[in-house]
Chain A
Amino acid sequence: MVTQNVVYRPGSLEEAYRLRTDTGALPLAGGTDLMVRYRKTAGLVPDPGRPVLFIGHLKDLRRVEERAEEVRIGSCTTYTELLSQKAVPEILKRCITLLASPPIRNRGTVGGNICNSSPAGDTLPVLHALECSLVLGNIRGERTVPIDRFITGPGENALSEDEILKEIVIPKAAFSGWCYRKIGTRRANALAKISFAGLYLIESGEVHDIRIAIGAVAPTVVRSREIEKTIIRIPRTSLQRSTVEMAARYRPLIRPITDQRSTTGYRAGVTLVLIEQFLTAVLQKKG
């Protein structure tokens, strides 16, 4: 008995929406997560147990558009393509150069990273820090959801059975600097033990904006606007707490696990030091 996988290769986004509604087919962008998740014994074709909808080739999903207030990234734009786009923020490019390896980057997409919703997805903390929103479309229309409300748990998100992630919208904002760190075991093709994204804006001696987002240390990306608010627009000279104390406020939010890649103690301890160092660096900046 040979199970024949049904695959659809729509000619347009419209058709993709229709096929998705009619057949419940599973979208496949670059396939770098799906082909691994559904792999079988060597020599057998991966089988997700439902029809597959190829969307990676659709022009409408594979573009970068710069507008006055925002940058719109088509969900199926590959990492390699993003690296050559001027409009893509530097922090995201830095993240991409540390993600997987060239062959995977030639196929893998940001849309796939978001919809896979793994706690170790490298672009997720960056996209959280950039306060992206996601345009989800179906045959009837579109809706826009902020990324922090889209991803709800490890491998869980708010995508409906008939929807496709169409675009990632990055609002333009002024920053005076950023920091991205990925702690992995090897320099290529290694999943993160911790990933850290930090952005800040300093004007006339005051922190006008600071955003800290951390991946792989809790079921979803850790970001706290509340803690960030305790730093924003407070003259640095009157900041009451030391950076160590400020970082310690993240402690209850950092809930990493011990697994095959690292330990709870290491992940939590190193994360707090990364936060502390970032805060120190920001607060020492002139501006």
Chain B
Amino acid sequence: MKEKKKDSTAVRGGTASTSRASISGPVPRQDAPGKISGVASYIGDLCFEGMLYARTLRSTVPRARIVSIDIPAMPEGYFVVDARDVPGKNGVHMLTDEQPFFAEERVNYVGEPILLVTGPERGKIDQILRGIRVEYEEIPPVFGEEDSKNPRIPPLFGERNLFCEYEIRRGEVEEAFFDADFVFEGCYHTGAQEHVYLEPQGTAGVFDGERVTVYGSMQCPYYVKTALVGGLGWKEDRIRVVQATTGGAFGGKEEYPSIIAGHVAFAAIKTGRPVLLVFDRAEDVVCTTKRHPSLIRMRTAVDDRGAIRGMEIDIALDGGAYVGLSPVVLQRAMFAATGVYRIPCIRVKGRVFATNSVPTGAFRGFGAPQAFFAVEMHMHSLAEKLRKDPLEFKRSYLLSMGDPTVTDGRMKQEVPLPRMIDRLCKLSGYEKKHRAYKKEKTRRGIGVSLFFHGCAFTGSGEKDKIKAKVLLKKEDDESVSILVSNVEMGQGAQTTLKKIVAETLGCGLERVRYDNPDTDRVPDSGPTVASRTVMIVGGLLAKAAGRLKRRMDEKGEVKIEERYVQPPHIEWDQDTFTGDAYPVYSWGANAVEVEVDPVTFEVRVIGVWGIYDVGTPIDERIVGGQIEGGISQGLGYATIELLQKENGRLRQKNLTDYIIPSSMDFPDPVYELFSSSYEHGPFGAKCAGELPFVGVAPAVAAAVQNAIGRPVRRLPVSPEYLFEAEHDED
């Protein structure tokens, strides 16, 4: 491949910042040679002497008591591993540990693991699995929120079938509604989404008689380790977790790998042999976590001058069968509920309900995409109702520095949206097109979305839960090792973290080493999630490198440790959800132009534009990769990625039916970076990983609304949805 000239690899259109930090210039990706040449070892490439394979027997019903399991006599060398082989607690630790490693008496979703068959030949394992009979006594399942009220359906969780429920109030909201001239209401639905990381989930377990090592495709080695401590009931020092090169994750490998890490650990201990468990794609689609489907009701009090007085927002998320990370996902959704707007007073209610279906979990954006879809469509429709231009209307409510957030924190930094919107309009031709398409019956439309992403963990998570710790070590051979538990999963962490250290030390990149984390070697710098890796972990590494720099002349090994300290400007009360939910925000604005086929209602995207403020980009090409990937994933979510449940079963069970975009489906996006600088981020960096996904769907939906002249209230904006909407009204 020909190396492009340095400048031409910069983000299309160039960055709009006048002073481009030297660290922003793109360098060759550090993980590329290994991946392209095939040297990198993904989980499926691992092979140990005497290794056994494993496959999982899963529930075929959404909810039942297991009456009996009939297992035929095992041939020599083949084993069944189930709940009885869990030496510690049969519960996978995440926020709680109520989800079992293996179902014991009950199954709660189709695809829930019941047992593992292990042995030397995969064909034989399949044959054994086919011979196992599970007798179920079915229990009426919970499929939706309304089922919680049905007395014939026993609740799945607690008495009201809610995993969690919160309320936030700011200001005199009753008064605002009492005084309102009218109340504008809307209901917004979003669907489930499958991650489709290129590499399916997998783990390998090795037991040496004393210690267990688990290898896996994962985002969070220490989450896995903590889950193993619980499942094994062992001391930490007998457990080691090693990240295998990971082929994509998008949040799908945040909590799920802990379950199958347990499986291979238990199997390795029982059999005394290394055990490899790698999912097939169809299995992965059916049984791993999905994005939370949502129903968000919005009510806005409008006064007689057409001004917004207050908002009431009600968010309901489908959590699936186990709580998982749902409360945190809900919190992020709630904290984004009023979007980028200054609303005088608000009440935000949120809850996650339980259903007998595959658990929902972490997915790029983490609750924010659902909230932004609702608020952006709501503001757009309210503007139309008031006969105002949607973008002008939104512009008049933009947050600015000093304004209160949902949680009554303060916007501590400048909000660059006004300038970003100007630039977006210029690039996309939004204003002229929007007006023209509204008048003409061309079936073309253009829409805009404005959004932020709160960087890193919600609330005081970094300070109270994660407590990140990093190590930087100058080795005897004068190389410098980055010792963190964060992983390269395709997002570019190996490149960006190395750059931060090398640039601070003033040395070449080749001198810095950063291997896949191994919990025996690296401290817990936290999970690779929440767009926190560059800002939080990179920030700690920059500090450590600053200290190491002064000691580079010392002979031999030098170790520098750095621990997370919360920046002084953050105030947060986790019990009342008051204060600064995030240390800082990254900002985005998208425009999308579409054409809707008048016969087939297919939505063709003809243009996508994006302006982003992610602080200082640590590597423009890597940020560009996040933007292009986030946009494609967002366009898929908005238009074609349909994942439906029917009686607790997924209708789209494999990649023939669950359709993600191909390179032929969408045009190349045009985008630019606005670089503000955040004093607590390394070189001024904020967050970039999730942001580009968050705003795409509402921009698409607004464009379709502009094109067809009817409200769009649901994602994905599928041809079937548009067809039905049109025919329902006729």
| Chain A residues engaging chain B, CB cutoff 8 angstroms | 1-3, 36, 40-44, 101, 183, 185-191, 259-263, 265-266, 269-270, 273-274, 277
Contacts and interface: CB of A to CB of B under 8 A. Distances in A.
A2 B659 CA distance: 35
Please report whether the interface of chain A is mostly helix, strand, loop or mixed according to DSSP.
loop
Given A44-B122, A263-B724, A265-B724, 12 more contacts: A1-B121, A36-B656, A41-B55, A183-B600, A183-B719, A186-B659, A186-B664, A187-B664, A188-B662, A265-B723, A266-B719, A270-B601
Contacts, number: 75
B558 interface: no
Interface in B624-672: 640, 642, 644, 651-653, 656-657, 659-662, 664-665
B662 A269 contact: no
Contacts of A185: 640, 642, 659
Given A260-B652, A270-B599, A190 B723 contact: no
B651 A260 contact: yes
B557 interface: no
Nearest to B283: A41
A186 B280 CA distance: 23
Contacts of B659: 185-186, 190
B662 A1 contact: no
9 contacts: A1-B121, A2-B121, A183-B719, A186-B665, A191-B656, A260-B652, A263-B724, A270-B599, A273-B599
Contacts of B122: 41, 43-44
A260 B654 CA distance: 10
A113 B652 CA distance: 23
B126 interface: yes
Nearest to A265: B724
B105 interface: no
A186 B600 CA distance: 13
B462 interface: no
A190 B125 CA distance: 33
Identify which of B55, B123, B651 gathers the most chain A CB atoms within 10 Å of its CB.
B123
A64 to B, nearest CB: 28
Contact of A187 (B651, B665, B719, B724): B665
Please provide the 10 A-B residue pairs with the shortest distance between their CB atoms, ordered closest to farther. A187-B664, A260-B657, A260-B651, A266-B720, A185-B659, A266-B723, A188-B662, A273-B599, A260-B652, A186-B659
Contacts of B601: 266, 270
Contacts of A190: 659
A1 B119 CA distance: 12
Contacts of B602: 183
A191 B655 CA distance: 11
Identify which of A40, A186, A259, A277 gathers the most chain B CB atoms within 10 Å of its CB.
A186
Contacts of B599: 270, 273-274, 277
B124 interface: yes
A107 to B, nearest CB: 17
Contact of A1 (B124, B280, B640): B124
Contacts of A263: 720, 724
Interface of B: 55, 121-127, 278, 280, 599-602, 640, 642, 644, 651-653, 656-657, 659-662, 664-665, 719-720, 723-724, 727
A252 B665 CA distance: 34
Identify which of B652, B661, B720 gathers the most chain A CB atoms within 10 Å of its CB.
B720
A41 B126 contact: yes
B185 to A, nearest CB: 27
B55 A186 contact: no
A187 B123 contact: no
A1 B123 CA distance: 8
A270 B601 CA distance: 9
A236 B124 CA distance: 68
A42 B640 contact: no
Given A186-B640, A186-B659, A263-B720, A3 B123 contact: yes
A186 B126 contact: no
A192 B421 CA distance: 40
A89 B178 CA distance: 70
A175 to B, nearest CB: 23
A41 B200 CA distance: 13
A226 to B, nearest CB: 25
Contacts of A259: 651
B662 A44 contact: no
Given A2-B121, A266-B719, A44 B657 contact: no
Contacts of B121: 1-2
A183 B371 CA distance: 32
B661 A269 contact: no
Contacts of A270: 599-601, 719, 723
A188 to B, nearest CB: 5
Contact of B280 (A3, A41, A189, A266): A41
Nearest to A1: B124
Contacts of B653: 260
Contacts of A262: 719-720
Nearest to A273: B599
Contacts of A273: 599
A40 B723 CA distance: 38
A40 B657 CA distance: 18
A185 B657 CA distance: 9
A269 to B, nearest CB: 6
Nearest to B655: A189
A2 B601 CA distance: 50
Nearest to B282: A39
Contacts of A1: 121, 123-124, 127
A277 B659 CA distance: 28
Nearest to B726: A269
A180 to B, nearest CB: 14
Given A191-B656, A263-B720, A277-B599, A40 B126 contact: yes
Contact of B126 (A2, A44, A183): A44
Contacts of B665: 186-187
Contacts of B724: 263, 265-266
Contact of A186 (B651, B661, B723): B661
A44 B280 CA distance: 11
A185 B55 CA distance: 32
Given A41-B55, A270-B599, A189 B662 contact: yes
Given A1-B123, A41-B126, A185-B640, A265 B727 contact: yes
A270 to B, nearest CB: 5
Contacts of B661: 186
Contacts of A189: 662
Nearest to B280: A42
Contacts of A261: 657
B723 A269 contact: yes
A187 B662 contact: yes
A44 B720 contact: no
A233 to B, nearest CB: 28
Contacts of B664: 186-188
Contacts of B124: 1
B55 to A, nearest CB: 7
Contacts of A3: 123
A156 to B, nearest CB: 21
Given A3-B123, A187-B664, A42 B651 contact: no
